[in-house]
Amino acid sequence: MTAALTWARLSYRQQRWELILAAIGVGIVAAVMLFFANELRGLQAAGPDCVGLFDYPPSCEAIATRFAETSDTAQRLLLLSFAAPFGMGVILGAPLVAREIEGGTVQLAWTLGRSRVGWLLRRITFVALVTVALLAVLALSSELLAAALAPDRSLGEDFLWSGRRGWLIVARGVGALGVGILVGAVVGRVLPAILGAALIMALGFTAISMGQDAVLRNEVEPQRVAMGNASGGVDPGALVIDFGLELPGGEVVTWQEAQERGLIAAVIDEEGRQFASAADMRAGRVLGYDIQLTIPGSQYLPVAAREAGVVTGLGLVALVGTALVVSRRRPA
């Protein structure tokens, strides 16, 4: 226990300014999120029939306008929760090993220590725990703010603001931290490691997002869009992947595929039926049905859990890579 506290104090001293700035930043953002969540809930309580409506009576104008303005500002805060995991990986992860290699402090530790991997684990544990704790605060705050922004929706079955709220923020932070530590161990200098980690994270997590989209395209469910329906006849919590056309025989094609095949509609009725011309509409010759290719909102948790597993696994693989680099690297 004493040894663990000693390593924790050492880790804090070596990165105290980064840790302090990260804690202050998360504290401010979380406090502002909770403030806006409280404001939005207060407006909902003051005018429960005035919130979330496009057509409201004149008596609701003041509350509805204020709710809309507050919501616009609050939604921008969710962008900060999206960026936070990557910022943690760059600010806390990249310098973790790179600073000690650049400063030469690892030479004695690696020469006298029994195990470099043991040194690495003791070195990163405290920072990793602090990172997870800070991002957990942000995850909870963002979820509470999202619930206040959309009080009529069940966010457990809704892709609304996916990646900007909830525990996926923590999982991405673990992945980003691992990548940052690995880049720092390979580069061995703080500033190049920070710049390199930022670039690699941008490319790596973009690739993961594109891979996720490719997988989801194989899991889409077509939903017909009825223009005469207030919700369009589509699950409001669904994730829209693409738009398309359902042919009378049941074949589903994307809009791009439909255009390439010359299936271009001139008229669409309120039920979402498409016709090549007004004459075809009068004759009842349906070209196809307007559809959205979606992932149902009920799949939000499994999809988020899958991404969380991928990015967390990435972080763990990066840490294994860091251990290999540290084991083979020369102290100076």
Query: What is the DSSP code string of 205-246?
Result: HHHHHHHHHHHHHTS-EEEE--TTSTTTTS-TTPEEEEEEEE
Tell me: pLDDT of 17 over 50: yes
Tell me: pLDDT of 89 over 50: yes
Residues forming a β-bridge with 273: 289
Q: What is the pLDDT of residues 235-255, one digit of tens each?
A: 888 999 988 888 888 888 888
With a pLDDT cut of 70, the percent of the chain lying above it is 93
Average pLDDT over residues 142-160: 92
Higher per-residue pLDDT: 320 or 113: 320
Tell me: pLDDT of 2 over 70: no
Mean pLDDT of the chain: 87
- Which one-letter DSSP state was computed for residue 27? H
Are 151 and 164 in contact by the 8 Å Cβ rule? The answer is no
Fill in the amino acid letter for 146: A
The predicted model scores a pTM of 0.87
Q: How confident is the model at residue 288 (pLDDT cuts 50, 70, 90)?
A: confident
C-alpha 13/C-alpha 76 separation (Å) is: 34
Higher per-residue pLDDT: 68 or 172: 172
Q: What are φ and ψ of residue 241, in 5° steps?
A: -95, -40
Are 130 and 49 in contact by the 8 Å Cβ rule? The answer is no
Least confident of 44-48, 164-168, 321-325: 44-48
Parallel, antiparallel or unpaired: strands 252-254 and 288-295? unpaired
Domain parsing of the chain, residue ranges: 2-218+303-328, 239-295
Average pLDDT over residues 269-297: 87
Least confident of 10-19, 32-41, 77-86, 104-113: 104-113
Are 66 and 144 in contact by the 8 Å Cβ rule? The answer is no
- The burial class, CB within 10 Å (0-12 / 13-18 / 19+), for 218 is exposed
Tell me: pLDDT of 230 over 50: no
Give pLDDT, residue 128. Answer: 93
Give the CA diameter of the chain: 88
Q: How confident is the model at residue 54 (pLDDT cuts 50, 70, 90)?
A: low
Give the position of tokens 């959309």: 150
Tell me: pLDDT of 229 over 60: no
Parallel, antiparallel or unpaired: strands 288-295 and 221-224? antiparallel
C-alpha 303/C-alpha 268 separation (Å) is: 33
C-alpha distance from residue 179 to each of 21, 41, 259, 267, 321 (Å): 21, 39, 43, 52, 9
Q: Which helix (H) or strand (E) holds 36?
A: helix 16-46
Higher per-residue pLDDT: 35 or 110: 35
With a pLDDT cut of 90, the percent of the chain lying above it is 50
3-state secondary structure labels for all residues of 137-165: HHHHHHHHHHHHHCCCCCHHHCCCCCCCC
Give pLDDT, residue 1. Answer: 57
Q: What is the pLDDT of residues 164-187, one digit of tens each?
A: 999 999 999 999 999 999 999 999
Q: Is the dihedral of CA 214, 216, 219, 222 positive or negative?
A: negative
Tell me: pLDDT of 290 over 90: no
Tell me: pLDDT of 61 over 50: yes
DSSP for 171-198, please give it.
HHHHHHHHHHHHHHHHH-SHHHHHHHHH
Give pLDDT, residue 248. Answer: 87
Tell me: pLDDT of 231 over 70: no
Residue-wise burial string across 250-261, b where 16 or more C-beta atoms lie within 10 A, e elsewhere: eebbbbeebeee
Residues forming a β-bridge with 289: 246, 273
Fill in the amino acid letter for 125: T
C-alpha 332/C-alpha 330 separation (Å) is: 6
